[in-house]
Amino acid sequence: MPLRVSQNSSIPFFLLMLSAGHASAVVFGSLEARYESHSDDKCKSYFEQWVNLNQKDNSGLSWGFMGMNRSGGCGGQQLQHLFMSKKFAAAPLPFQITAGRFERMDGGGFYTLDGFGLKWRVNDIELETYAGTPKRTELYPTPSNTSAKKDSPSGNHVAGFSLRTPIAGLAKRTDDRAFFKLGFRHAWGGKVTENRLDGTFTGIWQQPAFGLKSFHLDASFTLQPEDMARKIYDVQARAYFTRHNHIYLRTRKYEPPREPVTFLDRYYHNYNRGPQRIKAIGGNLRLAKTIDLSGHRRHISREFGKDGISTDIRGVFNSHKGWRIHAGIGKLDVGKEKKRTWQLALEYNLNSRLMLRLGRSYIKEDSALLVPKRVTATELQLRWMITHSLHLSLQGEKIDVDYYGDRFGILEDIDADHISLRLIYQFPALKKADYR
C-alpha cells in the first residue's frame, strides 16, 4: 500500500520566498512529528513529519505551505498546499488572486487544485472563478485495488465559478443572515467531460417566534446537468430554545459518482450499491450545568437493499472536580442485519496541563449474509501541554474481533493493536502585529 506522491508539480518554491523579507509580515504555523504503529496494517509502523507555515501582512499579501514526509512502512512525501495570495483594493471592484496549490470544495467534492483563483467582493456579494489541474482529495495511502487514476477527481483539468449573495428580503432583523451560493464546475481531459452544478443556502434568524432563541436552515445540492437523476441534496433545520438546547430535522440523499474517489464513494460502491436517503430527527438537551444529552433517530431507505432505522443516544457528565464521563448506546436495523453499540469513556484532568482518557467500546453485528461478530475496543489516551506552544499526545488502542457465528471455523479472530505518538509545536506570530 504505497503512498502516492504527486509528480511533476508545477508549483515553484520561490512563491514562498517572494514575501519572506516583508518587514510588516506575520508568520505562524506548526511543526508536527507523528509515530504510528498498526499491527494489522500493511504499513505496520511509520514516522511522519508535518510542516505547516503561513504568512500574512497588512498589504494583503499572504502565502501558505503544508507538506508531509513519511519514513518506514509506506514511505513517501506529500505536498498538501503551496500557494501565494494577494488582495488588491482596486475601485470599484476589489479583488484577490491566488496561485499555486490550494484546497477547494465544490460540486466535485474536496480536492487540491494546481492553478489559480480570482475572487471579487463588493459589500456582501462575492464572485469567484478558478482553473487548474485537480489532485487527490484525501490524505490516505492509495488502496492496492484502486488505481491512481480512479483516486483523483474527474478530468485532467477543471474550471468553474461561483456567486455568493445575501438575500435581503429574508433578513428581517439586523442580526439575521440569509445567503445563497451557486456554482458551476466543468472538468475535461483524460476521456472525461463532466459538468456539475451546486448550490447552498444558509439562513439564521434570531428570536423568530414561538419563544425560540434562533432558527437555522442549511441546504445544499449537487447535480450533473447531463444526468439529472444523479443528484445529491442535504437539508437541515435547527431550532434553538437556548444556547445548548435544540432540536433538528434533516433529510439527505447521497449517490456516489460513477468513478469512486473518496473513501465514502468506494464504500457505497462496494457495499451499498446505489443511492441512499436519510430522514432524521434529533437534538441536544442540557440538564443543569453538568449533564448534556443528545440523540437522533434516522430512517434509511436504499434503492438496492432493505430499508432501515437507526437510533443513537449519548450523554456527557461534567464534574467540577476535573473529570468527565462519556456514554453512548446505538442500534441499527436494516432488514435482517442488526448492529448494537455501547461506549463508555472517562476523562480526567490530572492537572491543568495533563489529561487522561480511558475508553471502552463494544459492537455486536448480526447478519444473514456475513458472519456475526463481536468487536471490543479499549482506548488509552494521554494529552500533555508541555508549554503553551508544545503539545504531546500518546494514544494506544487494542481491538478484538470475535467471529462467534463462524460455525465452520473458517475465519480467524482478530487481535489488533494501534499506538500513536504525536508532538506538535505551534509557533506564535513572529511579529507584534498580527494580521490573521
Domains held by the chain: number: 1
Q: Answer yes or no: is pLDDT of 435 > 80.
A: no
- 360 within domain boundaries: no
Which has more pLDDT, 175 or 205?
A: 205
- 66 within domain boundaries: yes
Looking at the chain, the whole-number percentage of residues with pLDDT higher than 70 is 82
For residue 281, report the phi and psi dihedrals to the nearest 5 degrees: -135, 140
Say if residues 302 and 278 touch (Cβ distance below 8 Å). Answer: no
Which has more pLDDT, 120 or 432?
A: 120
What does the pLDDT read at residue 228? 65
pLDDT in tens, 227-238: 766 678 999 999
Which of 190, 166, 186 shows the shortest CA–CA distance to 178? 166
CA atoms 36, 42, 44, 50: torsion sign: negative
Task: Round the average pLDDT of the chain to a whole number and report it.
Answer: 84
**Cα dist from 188 to 140, 159, 198, 255, whole Å:** 25, 9, 18, 21
Say if residues 146 and 137 touch (Cβ distance below 8 Å). Answer: no
What does the pLDDT read at residue 8? 45
- 320 within domain boundaries: no
- 68 within domain boundaries: yes
Radius of gyration of the chain (CA): 25
**Cα dist from 419 to 166, 170, 358, 363, whole Å:** 48, 51, 14, 21
Say if residues 239 and 226 touch (Cβ distance below 8 Å). Answer: no
What does the pLDDT read at residue 9? 45
Which has more pLDDT, 409 or 377?
A: 377
348 pLDDT band (50/70/90 cuts)?
Answer: very high
Owner of C-alpha cell 505536498: 79
Over residues 73-88, mean pLDDT:
89
- 274 within domain boundaries: no
CA atoms 399, 265, 310, 304: torsion sign: negative
Which domain covers residue 46, as residue numbers? 1-88
Nine-digit cell string for 417: 493493536
- 285 within domain boundaries: no
pLDDT in tens, 81-97: 999 999 998 767 889 99
pLDDT in tens, 313-324: 999 999 888 899
CA 183: distance to chain centroid? 21
Point out which residues pair with 69 in neighbouring strands.
Answer: 49, 77
Q: Answer yes or no: is pLDDT of 142 > 60.
A: no
- 65 within domain boundaries: yes
For residue 186, report the phi and psi dihedrals to the nearest 5 degrees: -120, 125
Whole-model pTM: value is 0.81
- 381 within domain boundaries: no
